[in-house]
Amino acid sequence: MSVAFDVEAMRGRLLDLASPCWAVRVGDRMGLATGPVDGAETVAQVGPLPPERLGDPGFLRDHGVRLAYAAGAMANGIASEDMVIAMGREGLLASFGAAGLVPARVEEAIWRIQGALPAGPYAFNLIHSPSEEALERGAVELFLRHGVRTVEASAFLDLTPHIVRYRVAGLRRGVDDEALADNRVIAKVSRREVAMKFMQPAPAGMVAALAEQGLVTAEQAELAAGVPLCDDLTVEADSAGHTDNRPLVCLLPSLIELRDEIQDRYRYATPVRVGAAGGIGTPAAAMAAFCMGAAYVVTGSVNQACVEAAASPHSKGLLAQAGMADVMMAPAADMFEMGVRLQVLKRGTMFGMRAQRLHELYAAHESLESLPSAERERLERQVFRRPLKVVWEETARFFQDRDPEQLARAEGNAKRKMALVFRWYLGLSSRWSNAGEPGREVDYQIWCGPAMGAFNDWVRGTYLEASEARRVADVAAHVMHGAAYLWRARHLEMQGWSGAAALARYHPTAPLAAG
């Protein structure tokens, strides 16, 4: 059996993920072979590890995918139909960014994605909308009407009747009297108390109320007591968008342990799978998540710089240059009054600082009229670029079509009116970024986590350095291929093979997925 001795030849052996790899000593030389070598000392060995073996095989089976990897949703359709379809055609899961879109736009996406992927895989985002409940309710009604079988539930602070309805309305009794869930829920959470609610059965009172309204059947209400609200729980660490900036190395083990405690209590036929998101942008990060027990990994920031993302070329260019420290926290448009924040790109845009100033003014004043004249003038000149009176008129027209209840709540409530006016800027800034609005570049709201900077460091000097070369399925393939490669290199190193250090890098050299 031949032995590879030079670094590139040894790298090739280690990259042959379908074959075993043996580290051997021949005289005073160390090398790699695909099996034991006569007359050579075996120093370490590692078995085959194709990327398909990473993670929980149940995730692959239940979602009908090749890899334990998903592209998470990015709101306002940034995680576009093109992205979902490109991933699905490679047998990979992606979630359409339905958050922030009106029902008619979401329905268009359903038609297109289902037409291209009639057998899946695909998912749609369902975001918690405490300020615009009608959007959350309307999304669930669309998903049920069109047979969308997987949703990625994100930003939930508590359970709502809408997410419970989606889950319970998909329950049926199997041939062995077991509860089968046709509507799958992937819950993206960053808090233990929220995770607990998703991993337990739906609240009995909420289910009973849905049954009384005729939104679920009596049998479905009965079955709900024996299944968790979610199939998969994505631990969202230091991510783009809504985030608590939790470190993955702390949060993931904690919620895996919580899952085990809940499983001991309820004895589900299929335990809830726990995946990892936030900071996943390189093979090393994916490998670390799998080593900590993640059933699957989810990427976000890195996909926004890909060809298929519905972001402007200007925004993609900024993302492709971002470093890990080029991010900051800013107020979220959908939960502005609550003080909820999200993570955005800081480099190349002033959105974060301007949005933070708007929230400071909101907290300090009771109405637009009470703003200091100098502050009001600055806002109208630099931020809104029009009189606040005009901004309110545009805001009123927007909500008249989208959610009239918002206007009713602002009637006679000056502070609520101020919040809606300030949300005009926060809401439009992300759309300016997606559309590439000329003259508004400094106001682009670009959701971004530190994973983007780590990804840029990893691909520097490779064909993926340019954003126009980044395709979402190819990025997925390299992250998973590289994770399996690094896992094997580290395994050899832990057995005492010193030569592994020279091979402990994986760089993409050519596309692995169809373009």
DSSP class per residue in 337-352: TTT-EEEEE-TT--HH
The distance in angstroms from the start CA to the end CA of the chain is 37
Q: Which alpha helices (DSSP H) does 267-312 contain, by range? A: 283-291, 301-304
Residue 402: what pLDDT?
A: 64
Residue 424: what pLDDT?
A: 84
Q: In terms of Cα–Cα distance, which of 176, 189, 209 is closest to 72?
A: 189
Q: Going by C-beta distance under 8 Å and a sequence separation of 6 or more, which residues neighbour residue 166?
A: 126, 140, 143, 144, 151, 183, 185
456-473: pLDDT as tens digits? 999 999 999 988 999 999
SS3 call for 138: helix
Residue 46: what pLDDT?
A: 93
Contact 165, 183 (CB under 8 A): no
Contact 210, 165 (CB under 8 A): yes
Q: Going by C-beta distance under 8 Å and a sequence separation of 6 or more, which residues neighbour residue 364?
A: none
Please state the length of the chain: 515
**Lookup result for tokens 């609240």:** 203
Contact 216, 278 (CB under 8 A): no
Phi, psi of 508 (to 5 degrees): -70, 125
What domains are defined for the chain? 53-301 (3.20.20.70), 322-443 (no CATH)
Residue 365: what pLDDT?
A: 86
Residue 416: what pLDDT?
A: 82
SS3 call for 422: helix
pLDDT < 50 stretches in the chain: none
Is this model's pTM higher than 0.75 or not?
yes
Residue 453: what pLDDT?
A: 93
